[in-house]
Amino acid sequence: MLMKDKKGLIVGVANNKSIAYGIAQACAKQGAQLAFTYLNEALEKRVRPIAEEFGSEHVYPLDVNKPEELDALTKTIEKDFGKIDFLVHSVAYAPREALDGKFVDTTKEAFDIAMETSVYSLISLTRACLPVMNDNGSILTLTYLGGAKYLPHYNVMGVAKAALESSVRYLAVDLGERGIRVNAISAGPIKTLAASGIGDFRMILKWNELNSPLAKNVTTEEVGNSAMYLLSDLSSGVSGEIHYVDAGYNIMGLGRITQDDEGKTTLAWDAKE
């Protein structure tokens, strides 16, 4: 198995529909031992059964915006789980009102919250985990196409994802001296708890399905398999990359165009019925 004897920390699982769950599942299938974190008591009730599903008793409280909890986490991990080989950062948040309306109306408070929770948390979590991470390990975070291009209803989160992607590149250089790789997966739209806060999400899903090269939406299992590759030794020569797992949608410059028997062209969206 590709990840036999590997230990990893998964930060950000919300439920069994989460992308982080798909990543954990793929890693566990390849023999990895996993530890998990939860934000609060409500999420603890969801995370513990997931950890048990993967044969793990290692579940820890963590608010990534609280330095004292980061310090406590790594000390506890080293004591009862040992050093880790990989880290998954699946954390992002912006106030819901900051995802509606015009980006120019974003408040400083919403901007600060989005940047601290969605971007700085990768930096602080990485720094906290370095003392308990083995050399030649792997760190992975999750981004979205809205960080590279304008997408409706993404607003401040798009700016946060752009900063996150840049952070991946700078961290990759810092950690390269220890052989630790830092990468991100840019997944296509998936029905998750986080996605529920994005307006017109059902329309976005349908648009991606109709207009991606593979003419479908991706699953958490597909994202998980790609993540497992980036977390395993198979990707030993890959760092600082943004790896798209979106059925190819990111390459498109215009929606699919279909042509009927009479030569009339129509956008796939208009011809969906």
Structurally, the chain folds into a number of domains equal to 1
Q: What residues make up the domain containing 130? A: 7-267
**pLDDT tens per residue, range 54-96:** 999 999 999 999 999 999 999 999 999 999 999 999 999 999 9
| CATH number of the structural domain spanning residue 186 | 3.40.50.720
Answer yes or no: is pLDDT of 201 > 80.
no
Indicate whether 163 belongs to any domain.
Answer: yes
| Residue 272 included in any domain | no
Which residue in the block uniquely carries the two structure tokens 């939860």?
38
Pairwise CA distance, residues 97 & 142, whole Å? 22
Domain-embedded: residue 1:
no
Q: Is 43 within a domain?
A: yes
- Tell me if residue 229 is catalytic: no
| Within-domain flag for 86 | yes
* pLDDT the model gives residue 191: 81
pTM: 0.93
Reported in sequence order, the residue ranges of the chain that DSSP labels E, i.e. its strands, are: 7-11, 33-38, 59-61, 84-89, 133-143, 181-187, 242-245, 257-259, 265-267
Catalytic residue among 144, 229, 244, 249: 144
> Under a CB-based contact definition with an 8 Å cutoff, are residues 126 and 87 in contact?
yes
Q: Which of 21, 38, 93, 154 is catalytic?
A: 154
| Mean pLDDT of all residues in 191-215 | 81
Pairing of strands 84-89, 133-143: parallel
Q: Is residue 273 part of a domain?
A: no
In a domain, 2, yes or no: no
Based on the residue annotation, tell me whether 154 is a catalytic residue of this protein.
yes
